[in-house]
Amino acid sequence: MEPKVLIVIPAYNEADNILNTVSGVVEHGFDYVVVNDGSRDTTLDVCRSNGLNVLDLPMNLGIGGAVQAGHKYAQRFGYDIDIQLDGDGQHDPAYLDALVHEVVSGADLVIGSRFLEKTDGFQSTFMRRVGITWLSAILKLCTGRHVSDPTSGFRACGRRAIDLFCASYPVDYPEPESIAVAIKSGLSVKEVSVEMRERQGGTSSIGGLSSVYYMIKVSLAILIASVSRRTK
pTM listed for this prediction: 0.88
Helix ranges, the chain (H): 18-27, 43-49, 62-76, 96-104, 126-143, 159-167, 174-184, 209-230
Among 173, 178, 169, smallest CA distance to 139 is for 178
Per-residue pLDDT of the chain (232 residues; tens, 9 = 90+): 899 999 999 999 999 999 999 999 999 999 999 999 999 999 999 999 999 999 999 999 999 999 999 999 999 999 999 999 999 999 999 999 999 999 999 999 999 999 988 766 555 666 677 888 899 999 999 999 999 999 999 999 999 999 999 999 998 789 999 999 999 999 999 999 999 987 655 555 554 446 677 778 888 888 887 776 554 4
User: Beta partners for 189?
Assistant: 109
- Contact call for residues 152 and 54 (beta carbons, < 8 A): no
Cα→Cα distances 172→62, 63, 176, Å: 7, 7, 10
Q: How far apart are CA 95 and CA 195, in angstroms?
A: 8
Q: Helices 126-143 and 174-184, interaxial angle, to 10°?
A: 20
Structural domains in the chain? 5-230 (3.90.550.10)
Among 228, 149, 113, smallest CA distance to 181 is for 228
First-to-last alpha carbon distance for the chain, in angstroms, is 36
